[in-house]
Amino acid sequence: MASALETLCGQSYGAKQYHMLGIYLQRSWIILFLCSLVILPVFVFTTPLLKLLGQEESIAEMAGTISLWYIPVMFSYIWAFTLQMYLQAQSKNVIITYLAVLTLALHIFLSWFMTIKLDLGLAGVMGSMILAMWIPVFGQLGFVFFGGCPETWTGFSFAAFKDLGAIIKLSLSSGLMLCLELWYNTILVLLTGYMKYAEVAIDALSICLNINGWEMMISVGFLAAAGYPTLLIFYFLIFLFALRIF
């Protein structure tokens, strides 16, 4: 849903209506926060919902525990995604890059420290993830609030509560478009829970989806940086390497 903000901010910035970027940002915060509250019961009652769908009890219990830990992550998305769209519309990508590199380094360290050094298990994994998700949020908020965007951020305004209907419609349309793609993987994971040796199957599927995500990120990066010819060469080299292995 946050992708709707990218369209609005891009149009306003191009029209030199700089003050509207801050208004649109605040409107998105309001809408996404309310939507997060609406779907919050799904995270709270994940275990009974999965049991109702016939999932294996051990998987339902573990999924419910992870879902409770995931609530702070969900709320971090409200600010993380919208701030990213807001800054990108102004070509202020450097601060996003710096924070991403810092977050990656801290996430790796926190994951090692909390999971391996302190032996906190799942609590260490999810705790390090929560901290890693909120670090760039506070960094971007600090950048915006303390002079990083003087033309587009003029402070909080009651104008953000006006004309929410149009923003809601555009946000829902953008959100649905992406959800149709994401739900495919979600349904795959859900169906895997019905298989024999479900825990092993879900572990294997999660690894495959993770590798697929990395592959997509690398491909899109090459495509954006150098265009189709370099991407074709990259895939051709991977193909030759695969032939050599097999």
Residue 185 lies in a domain: no
Residue 119 lies in a domain: yes
Number of domains making up the chain: 2
Cα 89 from Cα 95, distance rounded (Å): 13
* Same domain? 79 vs 175: yes
Residue 165 lies in a domain: yes
* Same domain? 119 vs 164: yes
Among 132, 149, 180, residue at a domain's last position: 180
* Same domain? 77 vs 159: yes
> 3-state class of 153 per DSSP?
coil
Cα 84 from Cα 94, distance rounded (Å): 11
* Same domain? 103 vs 213: no
| Phi, psi (deg, nearest 5) at residue 128 | -65, -35
Residue 187 lies in a domain: no
* Same domain? 174 vs 217: no
* Same domain? 18 vs 113: yes
The pLDDT of residue 237: 62
* Residue span of the structural domain in which 210 resides: 195-246
* Same domain? 71 vs 163: yes
Among 139, 154, 180, residue at a domain's last position: 180
Secondary structure (DSSP) of 182-205: HHHHHHHHHHHTTSTTHHHHHHHH
Residue 188 lies in a domain: no
Residue whose structure tokens are 């049991």: 51
Cα 95 from Cα 208, distance rounded (Å): 32
* Same domain? 156 vs 203: no
Residue 190 lies in a domain: no
Cα 162 from Cα 58, distance rounded (Å): 47
Residues of the chain with confidence (pLDDT) below 50: 227, 245-246
Among 152, 180, 208, residue at a domain's last position: 180
Residue 42 lies in a domain: yes
* Same domain? 204 vs 108: no
Integer angstrom CA distances of residue 119 from 11, 126, 144 = 49, 13, 37
| pTM exceeds cut of 0.85 | no
Residues in the chain: 246
* Same domain? 145 vs 234: no
Integer angstrom CA distances of residue 184 from 13, 37, 189, 200 = 35, 24, 9, 20
* Same domain? 173 vs 215: no
Cα 54 from Cα 52, distance rounded (Å): 5
Q: Are 141 and 112 within 8 A, CB to CB?
A: no
* Same domain? 93 vs 168: yes
Q: Are 35 and 1 within 8 A, CB to CB?
A: yes
The pLDDT of residue 221: 59
DSSP 167: H
